[in-house]
Chain A
Amino acid sequence: MKSQVSRSVAQNPNVPPESSTLGFMKISSLWSRKGNQPPWVLLVAAGIVAIAIALPLAYLVMRTASIESSELWELVSRRRTLQVLFNSAAMAVIVTLSCAAIAIPLAFLTLRTDLKWRRFWLIATTLPLAVPSYVGSFTLLSAFSPKGSLLQLLVEPLGVKELPSIYGWTGTILAMTLFTYPYLLLSVRAGLQGIDPALEEAARSLGKTPQQTFWQITLPQLRPALVGGGLLVALYSLRDFGTPSLMQFDAFTRIIYLQYRGSFDRHAAAASALMLVGLILLILWLENRVRTRAKYYSRGSGRFNQGSLRQSHSPHLVKLGFWQLPAQIFCTLVVSLSLVLPIGVTLFWLLRGWSNTEILPSLLPAVLNSVWASGIAALVAILFALPVAILSIRFPSRLSAILERTAYLGFGLPGIVVALSLVFFGANYVPWLYQTIPMLVFAYLVLFLPQAIGTLRSSLLQINPQLEESARILGKSQWSSFCQITLPLLRPGAIAGAMLVFLTAIKELPANLLLAPIGFETLAVQIWKATENVAFADAAAASLTILLVSLGSTLLLLSQEEGRGRDEVRSQKSEVRS
């Protein structure tokens, strides 16, 4: 029996191992074929999401439209604009590739091998997500800038008076990669955990080498996770402001800020942002082309395939042997640059200016505000991402696809653009909501929703809809079969998504400055205020606190993830028996 199932999987991974023994094929039309109305709850939630997407876009079009056409043409056709367009696009591609080069090996090392101190690395490699990019870039500069940096002082006795410049491409790519690879890492990890171990075992039992298994079975299965995570990385690199500005790299964000700052010109900035929207749409279109095939591969592979039901256990670990040392070096290198260095440098600033720190008493309220606002943002993002993900997978239509795709726009736009669009609509159309907490949470929703959609979607893809159908055949309602079957299986994706949103929201600045109630201070706001005053020690104290809070929440969520993972396996077993 085992080999039979294995063969059908290995030969033809795109065809789900039919649950022909149950004979439920016809019933599958209940859920996923046309003529099937999605529940109204989903539609309402989707409507709110659609508004969240449309607002910034409408704002940008409106502001751009008020520029005279000759001026607009001059703005668009300048050589500089084209240069910035090229820079941004190339940066997004390079950063995504280099993140993949770090994230894929790390995901495998921490989940599938006998890497020593695996638990430690599992956590440590996730944490750079908590380093705000402006803090990270600043510390990279103080470590590697041409003159007077830590490295230069270190090699000065050797006669090196000046290091090659880190500014521009090098520094931007380095900083972006080091502080955004965890987006991809989390996504790949969730993907790896969702793969049915039976598939790999089947391949191995058919005589495939571990390498062949990896390339032919595992990697194709990971495709949705890779594409989803890569999309997040690419868009994050486009939206980030801290790194390009500190590294003096002409990306769209920097230009947009310059236009606001230099000439207080909202219209030219909007035109630039609209061009950025074009670039984002192009990326989304490309991703969609890759993804269509990706869906094909993974649809049939759920944890509940017959094979896995019979023998579900965690996949066996690859012995690293000789590779143990290089693997350790690799992990150490990544973690020391992306985590130890920022912590070390901020700690140094804190201690150097300890006597001058004035921020400490105000840190606790800021921590509470940060955790509260980001926590709600994470929760709300999951609540609204779930309907979007379900609609796009279980009720595929052109409309649900467009909704799901365009949700990513907010994440690719610089925070200031989204914040100003909500300032405009908020102040003029819903003044009673303007500058309140619900407004701030809505801004977070616009900005960070796609992070949650991405992870939920790839989790959902790995769940075989036939499971729900079976439940319905056995007399459960649509709602209760969803709650009892699908929802528990979505947990890893929901947790990963919530974590991503939380860790990104805690670093968010422009929305907080412009849309939060007056006096609502978060840690990110405090870092900004301290740097305004050239108070490095205060900035360091607030940065370290962000790191600590993020560290705590990451640990909490990782422990949840692992505990639940075990529970699930157990529950699968008992369900089979009952």
Chain B
Amino acid sequence: MKRRQAIFLLGLATVSGGLAIACSNQTPNTANVGGGTNSQELTIYSGRSKKLIDPLIQQFQQKTGIKTQIRYASTAELAATIQEEGKNSPADVFFAQDAGALGAIQKAGLATKLPDKFLNQVEPRFHSPDGMWVGISGRVRTLDYNTKLVKPTDLPNTVVGLTEAKWKGKVGWAPSNGSFQAFVTALRVSVGEAKAKQWLEAMKANDTKVYENNVQILEALSKGEVTVGLVNHYYLEELKKENPQVPVAHHFLNDVGSMVNVAGVAILNTSKHREAADKLVEFLLTPEAQKYFAEETYEYPLADGVKPATNVKSLAEIKTPKLDLSNLDDLKGTLKLLEQTGVL
């Protein structure tokens, strides 16, 4: 009996000893890796995916010799994290999926002004008016449709067309999704609060199907659960890489339904590596990096003189409405409207 307990205690001791060793082994490494405050490395918080960003940053490291650390999470989580960290944020650069998150960081007074030479490389509508963030790549809202269920000629030309009775129960949208909400904000800005409300109510009355995100809408489209869906353009291209037979195609609307939003970067004002951070922004706007976004993500390059990937319609061809993205920061108002109308 004694022996059994001795063995048990021995086991317990071994495990806790091992734990202590593991922890003490790990701590110096990770303090170095994670802390970021003492190291001479550039720390990036990326709301964009690792698959996309990692190869690009590798190139950046090779080219400039600047070492980087990247924390990947969703754009919203990182925006909240940066705000919670406040002046102790280990991050130097925030690479966000959409302009709204960058606007939130700017409003919290956590971003710092970018040099004009960067801002001037993109159209004024694709950077913050105060110069606190700059767009790196553009994404277009589209009406994707199931090619087996509807002919392109039968598709509407405006988002208002979707409120007609023939689309009852056949449209999919993702009201909780950031890019959809940016679109609603754009709608409010372009047609006014009252009409935007009217549209949302009409869409809801028309039995529009709710999904969590763009990917889910595309799944539903390919299964024929809905006929058309309001999405960002590049998800379809991604899906086709894995499953080329998906019976889904793009349709570009002639109004705010095909607005262009951006993914962009901001440098935090707590950054202790300002020079390296500037170099990163500069690199992201080089033709090389811009081309990479065009080819890998089918997004639109924003820096002057770089063309989009061949199989995407060019920005000029799409009749994008004239919109000031800096007016799209009233997300609270949009959220309120979505809740008022019962869409969310």
Interface residues of A (CB under 8 A from B): 78, 80, 142, 145-149, 167, 245-246, 248, 254, 257-266, 352-353, 356, 358, 372, 376, 379-380, 383, 416, 420, 423-424, 427-428, 431-432, 434-438, 483-484, 487-488, 510, 513-514, 516-520, 525, 529, 531-537, 567, 571, 574-575, 578
Contacts and interface: CB of A to CB of B under 8 A. Distances in A.
Contact of B212 (A246, A356, A574): A246
Contacts of A520: 30
Contacts of B51: 358, 529, 532-533, 535
B228 to A, nearest CB: 14
26 contacts: A145-B223, A148-B225, A254-B176, A262-B178, A262-B181, A262-B334, A262-B338, A263-B335, A264-B104, A356-B242, A376-B22, A379-B16, A416-B77, A420-B80, A428-B86, A432-B35, A484-B5, A488-B8, A514-B77, A517-B29, A518-B36, A529-B50, A532-B51, A534-B238, A534-B242, A567-B4
Given A483-B9, A518-B70, A529-B49, 19 more contacts: A147-B223, A248-B210, A248-B212, A259-B335, A262-B334, A352-B242, A376-B22, A383-B16, A423-B85, A427-B90, A434-B35, A436-B27, A517-B34, A529-B50, A529-B51, A532-B74, A534-B238, A535-B242, A578-B1
Contact of B31 (A142, A248, A432, A531): A432
B167 interface: no
Interface in B1-35: 1, 4-5, 8-9, 15-16, 19, 22-23, 26-27, 29-31, 33-35
B243 interface: yes
B15 A264 contact: no
A90 B240 CA distance: 41
A380 B89 CA distance: 28
A258 B176 contact: yes
- Which of A257, A376, A514, A574 has the most chain B CB within a 10 Å cutoff? A514
A513 B70 CA distance: 11
B150 interface: no
Contacts of A80: 339
B225 A147 contact: yes
Closest 7 CB pairs of A and B: A148-B223, A517-B34, A435-B34, A264-B104, A513-B73, A517-B30, A261-B76
B72 to A, nearest CB: 7
Interface residue SS majority, chain A: helix
B326 interface: no
Contacts of A487: 8
A266 B338 CA distance: 19
A437 B212 contact: no
Contacts of B80: 260, 264, 266, 416, 420
Contact of B35 (A431, A533, A567): A431
A534 B239 contact: yes
Looking at chain B, what size class is its interface with the partner chain?
Answer: 35 or more
A59 B24 CA distance: 29
B81 interface: yes
Contacts of A571: 1, 4
Given A262-B176, A263-B335, A264-B104, A434 B73 contact: no
Contacts of A427: 84-86, 88-90
B222 interface: yes
B57 interface: no
Give the interface centre of A376, A383, A431, A534 by most chain B CB atoms within 10 Å.
Answer: A534
A246 B49 CA distance: 21
B331 A437 contact: no
B37 interface: yes
Contacts of B223: 145, 147-149
A367 B7 CA distance: 29
A14 to B, nearest CB: 32
B335 A262 contact: yes
Contacts of A263: 331-332, 334-335
Contact of A258 (B74, B239, B344): B344
Contact of A436 (B5, B35, B222, B238): B35
B225 A376 contact: no
B100 interface: yes
Given A376-B22, A427-B89, A518-B71, A488 B5 contact: yes
Contact of B49 (A424, A437, A532): A532
Contacts of B344: 258, 262
B334 A513 contact: no
